[in-house]
A = this chain, B = another copy of it.
Amino acid sequence: MGHDPLLEALQATSKAVERVLDPLLAVPEGNEKRVVEAMRYSVFSGGKRLRPFLVLSSAELFDVARPRALRVAAAIECVHCYSLIHDDLPAMDDDDLRRGKPTVHKQFDEATAILAGDALLTLAFEILADPETHSDPKVRVELISALAKASGHQGMVGGQMLDIYAENTSDWDERSVCRLQQMKTGALISFAAEAGAIMGHATEKARHSLQAYARGLGLAFQIADDLLDVEGSEEAVGKAVGKDADSGKATLVSLMGVERARQQAEMLSDQAIEHLSGFDNKASLLRAVAHFAVHRSS
């Protein structure tokens, strides 16, 4: 474990992002502190920190100062955690367990969970608007615009709406499921990979390569998640497994079968790595994470 550069980088990312978020989530003295405690419970509960890692790695390609990249990474992690809190709610996926711990509405209550999600989404934009994130306000509004598009009704929220629809219909094919995943998880992963390019004033070509990389990575990651839901254990995965099959929900795994889905994930991961061919050694961790995405056990 200790000698795997990717795992070391993921762990370092996690610690660094938590150091940025800690003062931004200072617990107030008033009774509104409960919502901040719930926000902290969510963002400090581990997780792979894939999105922050993509921000830092793409920022490094363009020599962006690490403290700036870390603030963007923190903002994206806030958005990711907000989406998990709301998705876990009884009215949505109704999950009791997340990363091996009670979900926010179980640990606190539903009202606090709704508000903690709302506040994390808001905090993400507050972080990005701050001059500490980038000295150029043009870059800050571009980050904000891209994040809003990736996470709103045309991105993540739209994808979650499709996901709820998917649970109540049998009329799904591979193409619709890919579109759903591209919106639900792909859009935010793409933004994470593009953020470094935006901060570093990269060329259009470099930005498009990262977009293409992230699209493949995101879908490969999602198929691997669906495979873990079928084949993993609750203990290893840290959340309930077998949920998709129990609910009869269409996934690429249920539509393609386990073997073809695994092949598809590996092919997407290989293609993602191909898109990084213009970046040389600097992109080695981005290559490693595309490989890791389809060869992990949790």
Contact = CB atoms under 8 A, between A and B. Distances in A.
Interface of A: 28, 30-32, 34-36, 39, 82, 86, 89, 91-92, 109-112, 114-115, 117-119, 121-123, 125-126, 128-130, 137-138, 140-142, 144-145, 147-149, 151-154, 157-162, 164-165, 179, 183
Contacts of A147: 125
A130 B153 contact: no
Contacts of A164: 111-112
A47 to B, nearest CB: 20
Contacts of A31: 161-162, 165
Number of copies: 2
A114 B126 contact: no
Contact of A114 (B114, B119, B144, B162): B114
A185 to B, nearest CB: 14
Given A89-B114, A121-B122, A39 B153 contact: yes
Contacts of A30: 158, 162, 179
Contacts of A119: 152-153, 157-158
Contacts of A154: 28
A179 B35 CA distance: 16
7 contacts: A32-B161, A35-B161, A92-B111, A115-B157, A115-B160, A123-B153, A126-B149
Contacts of A82: 118
A154 to B, nearest CB: 7
B115 A118 contact: no
Nearest to A160: B115
A45 B152 CA distance: 21
B153 A32 contact: yes
Contacts of A89: 111, 114
Nearest to A150: B122
A32 B183 contact: yes
Nearest to A35: B161
Contacts of A130: 145
Given A118-B157, A145-B130, A125 B123 contact: no
Contacts of A160: 115
A121 B159 CA distance: 16
A122 B86 CA distance: 14
Given A31-B161, A86-B115, 12 more contacts: A30-B158, A36-B153, A111-B164, A112-B161, A119-B157, A122-B148, A122-B152, A123-B152, A125-B147, A129-B144, A137-B138, A144-B144
